[in-house]
Amino acid sequence: MEVIINKENAVTNVRLVGRLDTPASQEVSEQLEPIMANASGTIVLDCTEMSYISSSGLRIFLSLRKAAASQGGKIIVKNISDDIRQVFMMTGFLNLFEIE
Amino acid sequence: MALNDNIKTVVKKSRGTGLLLVLVAAATLEATTLIQYVSSQRMLKREASQRAESELRATRNQIMDVVDQAEAAVHNSIWIARWCLDYPDSLVVVSRRIVEENPSVMGSTFALVPGYDKNHPLFSPYVCRSPEGDIEIKSLATEEYDYPSQEWFTEPLNYGIGYWSEPYVDTGGGNVLMTTYSVPVTDESGRIAAVLTADVSLDWLTDLVGSVRVYPNAFSVMISREGTIMVSPVEEFNMQRSIQDYAKGARDTANFNILAAAMLNGKSGNLVLGQRRRERTSVFYGPVEKTGWSMAIVIPDSEIYGEIRRMGVLVGILMLVGLSMLILILTATARSQLKYAEVNEKKERMEHELSIGHNIQMSMIPKTFPPFPERKDIDMAATIVPAKAVGGDLYDFFIREEKLYFCIGDVSGKGVPASLLMSVTRTLFRSVASHEKSPQRIVTLINDAMSDMNENDMFVTFFCGILDMATGHLRYCNAGHNPPLIFTDEVRMLPVLPNLPLGVMGGVHFPEQELDLACDNALFLYTDGVTEAENISHEQFGEDRMISVLRERRDSQGHLKAMEKAVADFVGDAEQSDDLTMLFIHYLNDMKPDATERHLILHNNIQQIPQLADFIETIANEMRLDQGLAMSLNLALEEAVTNVILYAYPAGSDGLVDIEAIMGKDILEFIISDSGVAFDPTAAPEADISLGVEDRPIGGLGIFLVRNIMDTVSYQRTDGKNILSMTKKL
C-alpha cells in the first residue's frame, strides 16, 4: 500500500494506492497520524487507485472523519470503485462521508 | 377371465336352452300341424259331405223329374179313364195315350177291379213299347199272371192313393228294370173301379246312379223301399240282395244296421263305417221321395283324406329333417362358441401374462424423471409409447463410475415376439454394460449372444453410448439404428456408421465412434416410430418435422412432451402404427471441479493476510467468480481471519489459523478454525450503522461485514477448537 500525501494550501490530498487491508492499515494509520492531528482543513482521500478496503481501513476513514469533525475540518472521499462503494453502503459510510 | 367364465356358463346354459328351444319348436310345430291337419280333415269331410249331398240332391231331382212325369201322365189320364169305365173296350186308349205321350213310360195298363164289370170279370189291356219302339198291346188278364194279386194292383187299392211299386225286372219286356206307378181310379159314385198304371224303365237309373262319382273310388248305391239293392257297382247284387242281407255279412255290422235302418226310414245324413282307420268309409245318404227309395254315396276315407294324409306324412318327414338339422346346427354353434370362449380365454390369459411381463420389463427400465435429481450435470428424459400393449422398443441408461451408459433399440416386428426379444436385449445390455467399458465391446457381445440364440431371424437396431460425465467425452456404437440428433449450436444428425443390426450374424465387428460434448450440448435418440409415424393419408412425420420441433429451447422432458404432441397432432385419427420411443440427454457439466477443497494455513501473524487474499483470488478465478463477489468474499474472510490472528492467541504466542474452502457447484463454504481461546464472534452485538460520526464506534465493523457478506455464519467449539463456518451461495 502506498500513501502519497500532497498539501496544497488548505487542502491535503491523500492518494491511496493499492489494497488497504489490515496489515496495510497499520502502516497507513501511522503515516496519516500528522494529518489526523491537524485536520482543520479539507482532506481529500483520493481512492482512484485503491482496490480494496478492510474494516481496519474503514476505521482509518472513520478516525479521520471524527478528527476532522472535532477540528472543524472536512473529508472528501474521491473516486471510490463500485465494489468499495458497496462496502461503504453496507456499513453506512455513504452517509458519513462526502463522496465525489 | 371372469368374462370367459360367463361365456362358458352362457354357452353351457345355451346348450340346455337350445335343446329346450328345439323341443318347444318341435311341440309348437307338431301342435300347429296337428291343428291344421284336424281342421283340414274337417274341411275335407265337410267338402266331401257337401259334394255328396249335392250329388244326392242332383240325382234325386233327376229321378223326381221322371217320377213326376210318370205320375203326371197317370193322374192326367184318370178323368178319361173314369169316363171310359163304362166302355171297357176303350180303356186301352187311355193306356196307349200315356205310353205314346211319355217317353219314359214303357208301358201302361188300366186294370179293372175284378167283378166291377160283369162282362169282364178280369180286364187289363197292357200297352207297352217294344224294344224297337213299336206300341204293342197285350192282355194281362191271364190266369198265369193273375194281375189282381200283383203288388202294383193290390197296394194302391190298399192305400187308396198312388203307389210306386218295388222295382222289379220285367221278364216280359226284355229283362228291363222297371217300377210301376199305380193309382186307384174311382167311378162317379166313388167306388174304386180300376187301377191305372205307368211302368217306368229304370235302365237310366243304373246309368244315372252309376255315373255319380264324387271321388274316383267312390260309388253310389240305390235301395228300394224294402231295402232291395237297385243299383250298385256290384252287378250281381243288383235286384238280388237287400241291404239287410248285406248288413249281416258286413264287417261293421252294427253301424251298417244303423245305416240300413236310417235309409229304410227315409232319413238323410251320413255315417262312418269300418272299425279300422284304413278301412273307414263315409256314407252319405238321402231319400228319394215318393218312390221310397234311398240313395247312398259311399266314399272311402282314403279318398277324402288321401291328399292330406300324404301331405301329413310329407310334413312329418320335413319336420323331422328340419328339427334334426336345427339340433345339429345348435350343437355345432354351441360347440364352436365354447371353443371360441376357450380360445379367447387362453388368448386373454396369455395376453395378461405378457402384459405382466411387459410391466416387469417396463419397471426395470428407468421411468422416473429426472433420473438423477441430485446431479446438475445431466438432464434426461425418456419415454416409450407402445403401439400395442407389448412393444418391441427399448431404452435404458445408468451411471457407473461417473459415466452414463445409455442405449436405445427397436426390435423388428411387433407384439409378443418383439417384446420378448426386447426383454432379452435389455437384459443383455444391463449385464454386458455392467462390466464392459466400451460401446464397441458392449454391442459386439450383445450381438454375439443374440446371434447364437436367434432362431427366428429377428433383429434389433441398436445404439449404445457412453458419456464421460466429467469431460463430456462421448463414445458410441451404432448397430443399424436411426442416427441420433446432436444439439450443439445447431441441431443435426450425429454422424454414425450404419453397421448391421444386432442378431443378424455373430462375429461381426462394430466400429466405435467418439465425440466431445460441451456443456449444454444434447443428444436426442429415437426409434422410427417417430419419423415413420403416419397420418391418414400415409404421409410420414419425417426427420424435418422432428428437427423443427426440437429447435425450440426446452428442458429434456419438455422436448419429449412437445414431440409426443407433435406426432399425435400429425397422426390425427390414424392408428399409431409403431412404438414411439425417445431418449433425450442434455449434458450440463460446465467443467467446474465438483466440490473441490482448497486449504490455507496461516500463522497468527497479521502480515500473512495477503496470502489469504491470494488464496481467495485463486478460488475466485477457479470458480470464475466476478470481481465484486471476489472482493466481498476476501473482505469477509479477512475480517474473520484477522479476528483470529489478533485475538485468539495470547500475545507473543504462536498459533495457526486453518482456512478450508469447499467449492461446491453453487455454494462456497469456508471453515476457519483455530486452537486459540474460545471466542464466538457471532455473539458480538450488531453494529449500528445508522449512528452519526460522533457516536459511531471505531471498531465492531469486522464481524458486521462477515455477517452481511456471507449467507450463513455459524460458530462452534469442538475439541478445543473454534470453528467458524461461513457459506456463500453462488
The CA distance from B512 to B443, in Å, is 9
Range of B242-256, B401-415, B707-721 with top mean pLDDT: B707-721
Which of A19, A21, A28, A71 best tests the B interface by mutation, with the highest count of B CBs <10 A?
Answer: A21
With CA atoms as reference, the chain A residue closest to B613 would be A21
All structural domains of chain B: 44-322 (3.30.450.20), 365-587 (3.60.40.10), 596-729 (3.30.565.10)
pLDDT of residue B483: 93
CATH number where A67 lies: 3.30.750.24
Backbone torsions φ then ψ of B289, nearest 5 degrees: -60, 165
Predicted confidence (pLDDT) per residue in B446-465, tens digit = 998 888 776 667 889 999 99
B708 touches chain A (CB under 8 A): yes
Q: How far is B611 from chain A (nearest CA, A)?
A: 12
Residue A57 has pLDDT above 90, yes or no: yes
pLDDT of residue B464: 95
Q: Which uninterrupted H or E stretch holds B360?
A: helix B301-364
B694 touches chain A (CB under 8 A): yes
Domain that holds residue A39: 2-99
Q: Read off the amino acid at residue B163.
A: Y
Size of interface A-B (CB pairs under 8 A): 73
Q: Residue B312's CB: how many other CB atoms inside 10 A?
A: 17
- What sign has the CA pseudo-torsion A52, A54, A57, A58? positive
> Which residue would you say has higher pLDDT here, B455 or B369?
B369
> Counting beta carbons within 10 angstroms of the beta carbon of residue B726, is it exposed (0 to 12), middle (13 to 18) or buried (19 or more)?
buried
B419 touches chain A (CB under 8 A): no
B647 touches chain A (CB under 8 A): no
The CA distance from B599 to B654, in Å, is 20
Q: Which uninterrupted H or E stretch holds B506?
A: none
Q: How far is B528 from chain A (nearest CA, A)?
A: 57
Query: B314-322: long-range contacts (C-beta < 8 A, 24 or more apart)?
Result: B315/B33, B316/B33, B319/B26, B319/B29, B319/B30, B319/B33, B322/B29
pLDDT of residue A77: 94
Predicted confidence (pLDDT) per residue in B98-117, tens digit = 888 888 888 888 888 888 88
Residue B261 has pLDDT above 70, yes or no: yes
Predicted confidence (pLDDT) per residue in A28-45, tens digit = 999 998 888 888 889 999
The residues in A 28-87 lying below 8 A from B, measured between CB atoms, are 52-56, 58-59, 62-63, 65-66, 69, 82-83, 86-87
Asked if the Cβ–Cβ distance from A83 to B631 is below 8 Å, we say yes
B695 touches chain A (CB under 8 A): no
Q: Give me the number of domains chain A comprises.
A: 1
Residue B1 has pLDDT above 50, yes or no: no
Least confident span in B57-71, B551-565, B703-717: B57-71
- Provide the pairing of β-strand B473-479 with B176-186: unpaired
Cα B106 versus chain centre, distance: 87
- Residue closest to B262 by CA, chosen among B241, B277, B247: B247
ipTM: 0.93
**B399 three-class SS:** strand
Predicted model pTM: 0.41
Q: Report whether A12 contacts A44 (CB < 8 A).
A: yes
Asked if the Cβ–Cβ distance from A83 to B694 is below 8 Å, we say no
Chain B residues whose CB is inside 8 A of the A87 CB are: 632, 635, 705
Q: Report whether B517 contacts B587 (CB < 8 A).
A: yes
Asked if the Cβ–Cβ distance from A91 to B705 is below 8 Å, we say yes
C-alpha cell at A3: 500513501
Q: Report whether B117 contacts B124 (CB < 8 A).
A: no
Predicted confidence (pLDDT) per residue in B378-432, tens digit = 999 999 887 765 668 889 999 988 899 999 999 887 767 777 788 888 888 988 8
Q: Read off the amino acid at residue B707.
A: R
Q: Report whether B713 contacts B726 (CB < 8 A).
A: yes
Q: Report whether B177 contacts B206 (CB < 8 A).
A: yes
Least confident span in B130-139, B394-403, B502-511: B130-139
Beta-bridge partners for B383: B582
The CA distance from B683 to B386, in Å, is 63
B197 touches chain A (CB under 8 A): no
